């Protein structure tokens, strides 16, 4: 495993768990936009020349899916130009690049688990810019690994289960869409997966998410059920969650209807299949309770 790793997006949800699970003997060079603006090619080159990392782990991303429709240039700068700058520097300097991408690069109109060799067809500004970043990395000519994930939740920042807990305290009834299907991913599990893939020098595309597909409605119901079991929500609190259609909550950006990722390649590479999302959710809620 590489000894000196440049970590971008170090203040984000995923990076928090990357740092938490860092293997012994690894030196992390932690940066966020204040220390290194990855959209500035000259800054990236100069920073890598000074610090000489063996590997770059890019956790920086523009993730505001709906705002990207009106902030397309900012989304493109972070999600496409930034990874391109990192990839070109890595290629010139013989460093490996590990980049995190998304299920949104797929159209999501099918009904099968999406494998790494399925054809991307992004819809919406966020999705297009993430795919542009992938293509730029492919074309840079260096050594790279792109890990696609989905429905990420973690302790730092906003997340879907955290929102459901908040709603459970504020409301007695609310609706959640039941016609979008994917696979939730606990950021701590993704961080562990990244370290495993780095250790075996995996390359190309690899998908990682927790086991089991569900809808946002399923995810919400399970979050509230476990929240009550763990005492994060009073057991006698009335919580009625109703399923609804996406068309009842129109959003600026389109969402995939079915974007459940296959993790067969990850399991084959590491010998460790992802755990069920319900188990990962339990650990997230327990960590939230104890934090």
Token pair belonging to 191: 């961080």
Other C-beta atoms closer than 10 Å to the C-beta of 271 total: 9
16 SS3 class: helix
DSSP class per residue in 84-116: HHHHHHHHHHT-EEEEEEEGGGS---SSSPBPT
| Neighbour-count burial for 161-179, b at 16+ CB within 10 Å, e otherwise | bbebbebbeeeeeeebbbb
Q: How many Å apart are CA 55 and CA 198, to the nearest integer?
A: 9
Candidates 62, 126, 205, 258; catalytic one: 126
Phi, psi of 93 (to 5 degrees): -100, 5
Active-site residue 126, yes or no?
Answer: yes
Question: Do the Cβ atoms of 91 and 35 come closer than 8 Å?
Answer: no
Which positions are catalytic?
126
């Amino acid at each position: 495993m590489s000894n000196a790793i440049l970590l971008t997006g170090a203040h984000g949800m995923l990076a928090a768990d990357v740092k938490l699970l860092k293997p012994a003997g690894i030196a992390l060079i932690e940066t966020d936009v204040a220390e290194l603006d990855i959209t500035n090619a000259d800054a990236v080159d100069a920073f890598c020349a000074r610090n000489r990392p063996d590997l770059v782990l890019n956790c920086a991303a523009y993730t505001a899916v709906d705002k990207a429709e009106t902030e397309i240039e900012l989304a493109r700068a972070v999600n496409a130009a930034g990874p391109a700058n990192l990839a070109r520097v890595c290629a010139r300097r013989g460093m490996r690049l590990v980049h995190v991408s998304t299920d949104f690069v797929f159209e999501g109109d099918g009904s099968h688990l999406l494998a790494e060799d399925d054809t991307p067809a992004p819809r919406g500004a966020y999705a297009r810019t993430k795919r542009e970043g992938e293509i730029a990395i492919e074309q840079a000519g260096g050594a790279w690994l792109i890990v696609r994930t989905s429905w990420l939740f973690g302790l730092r920042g906003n997340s879907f289960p955290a929102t459901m807990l908040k709603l459970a305290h504020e409301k007695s009834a609310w609706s959640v869409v039941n016609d979008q299907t994917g696979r939730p991913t606990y950021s701590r599990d993704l961080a562990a997966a990244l370290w495993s893939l780095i250790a075996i020098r995996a390359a190309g595309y690899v998908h990682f998410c927790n086991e089991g597909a569900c809808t946002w409605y399923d995810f919400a119901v399970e979050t509230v059920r476990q929240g009550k079991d763990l005492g994060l929500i009073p057991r006698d609190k009335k919580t009625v969650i109703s399923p609804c259609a996406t068309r009842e909550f129109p959003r600026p950006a389109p969402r995939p209807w079915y974007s459940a990722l296959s993790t067969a390649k990850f399991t084959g590479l590491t010998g460790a299949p992802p755990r069920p999302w319900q188990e990962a959710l339990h650990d997230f809620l327990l960590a939230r309770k104890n934090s």
